[in-house]
Chain A
Amino acid sequence: MVALWQLVVGTGNFGKALPSPAAVARQFWLMLFEPIGRTSLYGHIWASLVRVLSAFGVAIITGIPLGLLMGWNKKFEAIVRPIFEMFRPIPPIAWIPLAILWFGIDETPKIFICFIGAFVPVVMNAYTGVRFTDPMLLDAARMLGGNPRQLFLEVAVPSALPAIFAGLQNGLSLGWMCVLAAEMVGAQEGIGYLILLGMDMSNPAMIITGMLLIGAIGAAIAVLLRYAEKRICPWKREISM
């Protein structure tokens, strides 16, 4: 694949548009030491990660309980679901203009956008997870004398965990995508800003370096999350077979 890339660049007349792998590697090496814009490469990555993770944290804290309650309590569902469904189809990226109008262009709007991106899948999956609790398990627990509180905490919630984790995966990758979009629209640092800067400077090697980094970080986050999932709910593998 890399050889093919080099070959295409070597033979074709793309000019400056498509840099060779060697040029990308050189650019990456350069960026490790040279500051870009206001901060170093690490600073850019750190800025993006902080935004995504803080938004993700808020989405977990608010989204999981909301989804669980919505899945469990019919009255709560009847109240919250219609409002949630009104907002759900709006892509998080469409919130960017409104967020900038509301919060200016500092950190808050970016975190807000990532939050919306992560929130929707987290809520939906916690909700469906509880809804799809095996009724047999609930009946069994009720027969053994469990009260509604126990049914919820000890049967429904654990059985929803795999779905919740799938939601976290989706939420995090959506959040990672949203931070890019938010940073491209208006930011001074962050990895989305980095590739936009590459575009402004007509430096495709810089863009491709940034893209590869984005892909690698996204994949790394997903692997970490899957590891956490295996630790927290080891029974999942049996369920998903």
Chain B
Amino acid sequence: MTTQPQSSPVSGAGENSPGEQPQAKASAGGAGQGKRAMAGRPQASGSLWWLSLLSVTGFLVFWYAIVRFEIISQALLASPEQVLATFISKLTNRAPDGATLGANFRTSLKLCLTGYISAVCVGVPLGLVMGWFRKVDEIVKPLFEMIRPIPPIAWIPLAILWLGIGLPAKAFIIWLSAFVPSVINSYAGIKLTEPVLISVSRTFGATNWETFLKVGAPSALPMVFTGLRLSLSSAWMTLVAAELLAGSEGLGYMIQMGRTLARPDVIIVGMLTIGATGAAMGFVLEKFERRLTPWRRS
């Protein structure tokens, strides 16, 4: 269950200047607070899982019924069991887009992770250094601020014009989409380092570089991870856009072909795969975060 609010002003493609106080800090202690707030609500608490089960079942029945009784034409929407059947057959069947679901999945995942990892490797150190060393900040910030408000998707035409419609263009766009949030959050994170900690470190005779590595960077970690999460979802979304517009394989291409051929079942299988993969990657990242920043749980 994600109670992480998407409310940090430094998140996503938000237009706030990174110098502002990020609200995401509030979410650090948020989980425990949320529990108390919940208890404070006037409703009697108790296990309500049966209601959830009921609603999901109801949703599936509703979906099945509107297709079964042709309230919505079969050409527009596939019923749940058709989607399931297509999913199973798509695991081995290359039709209609020329690759199996697994092959499409691997293509997309590889592309996304390539762009994402290379963006993070550049973006996080850049953000940290920008936040710590004033000179770097003054040089890089104006440049960065010019690129930042342009959504990564708007780069697609230029990338295609420059690099063609192959892998480099898509990797470039995904790189950009993941780069921006990872820089912003690392920057904001290190700017928020407790001044007392910095003073203590200086008092004990640490150099500026040592303070940066041993105090600044670790204290920025929670915000860095917020950035990594945002980058990942941004990269995954941009990947879909890039494949929709200029792809010959991958999940985005598969749903685009599903549309061209008027196969709603293929589209829905693709959408669900995209959603599930995005959620799974987010989950893995969260596990990883718990490992690396155990002090956050307190």
| Interface residues in chain A, defined as those with a beta carbon under 8 Å from any beta carbon in chain B | 1, 17-18, 72-75, 77-83, 86-98, 100-102, 121, 124-125, 128-129, 131-135, 138-139, 148, 151, 162-163, 166-167, 169-170, 173-174, 176-177, 180-181, 184-185, 192, 195-196, 198-199, 202, 204, 207-208, 210-212, 214-216, 218-219, 221-223, 226, 240-241
**Is there an interface contact between A135 and B40, defined as CB atoms closer than 8 Å?**
yes
B106 within 8 A of A: no
Would you mind naming 7 contact pairs between A and B with Cβ atoms under 8 Å apart? A17-B162, A79-B52, A95-B271, A135-B36, A163-B5, A184-B157, A199-B160
- Asked whether, in the complex, the Cβ of B12 is within 8 Å of the Cβ of A173, the reply is yes
Task: Return B239 CB to nearest CB of chain A, in Å.
Answer: 9
Q: Give 20 A-B pairs besides A79-B52, A83-B59, A129-B7 with Cβ atoms closer than 8 angstroms.
A: A18-B162, A78-B55, A79-B54, A82-B55, A83-B55, A90-B274, A91-B233, A93-B244, A98-B255, A125-B5, A125-B7, A129-B5, A135-B36, A138-B40, A169-B15, A170-B7, A184-B156, A204-B158, A210-B154, A216-B149
| B275 in contact (CB, < 8 A) | yes
Chain A residues contacting B160 (CB-CB under 8 Å) are 199
Given contacts A94-B240, A124-B6, A199-B157, contact A133 B37 (CB under 8 A): yes
The smallest C-beta distance from B135 to any residue of chain A, in angstroms, reads: 16
Contacts of B245 in A (CB 8 A): 181, 184-185
* Interface residues on chain B, number (Cβ under 8 Å): 82
**Digit string of B167-197 for contact with A (CB within 8 Å is 1, else 0)?**
0000000000000000000000000000000
| Complex Cα–Cα for A140 and B241 (A) | 49
Contact (Cβ within 8 A) A94 B271: yes
CB distance from A9 to the nearest CB of B (A): 14
Please give me the residue from chain A that is nearest to B72 by CB atom. A102
The answer to whether the Cβ of B256 comes within 8 Å of any Cβ in the partner chain is yes
Complex interface: chain B residues within 8 A of A151 (CB) = 42
Of residues B7, B160, B245, which shows the largest number of chain A Cβ atoms within 10 Å of its Cβ?
B7
Compute how far the CA of A131 lies from the CA of B275 in the bound complex, rounded to whole angstroms: 25
Taking a contact as CB atoms closer than 8 A, the residue among A100, A173, A181, A210 that contacts B15 in the complex is A173
- Pair B262/A101 contact, Cβ less than 8 Å: yes
Known: A93-B237, A96-B244. A176 touches B6 (CB 8 A): no
B174 to chain A, nearest CB (A): 13
B contact residues around A72 at 8 Å (CB): 41
Q: Does B6 contact A121, Cβ atoms closer than 8 Å?
A: yes
- Is the Cβ of A90 less than 8 Å from the Cβ of B15? no
Assess the B6–A166 pair: CB atoms within 8 A: yes
Q: Give the docked Cα–Cα distance between A134 and B151 (Å).
A: 35
- Cα–Cα distance between A178 and B31 once the two chains are bound (Å): 31
Given known A132-B5, A148-B42, contact A214–B154 (CB-CB < 8 A): yes
Does residue B216 face the partner (Cβ distance < 8 Å to A)? no
Cβ of B247 within 8 Å of any chain A Cβ, yes or no, is no
B76 adjacent to A101 (CB under 8 Å): yes
The CA of A197 and the CA of B9, in the complex, are separated in Å by: 34
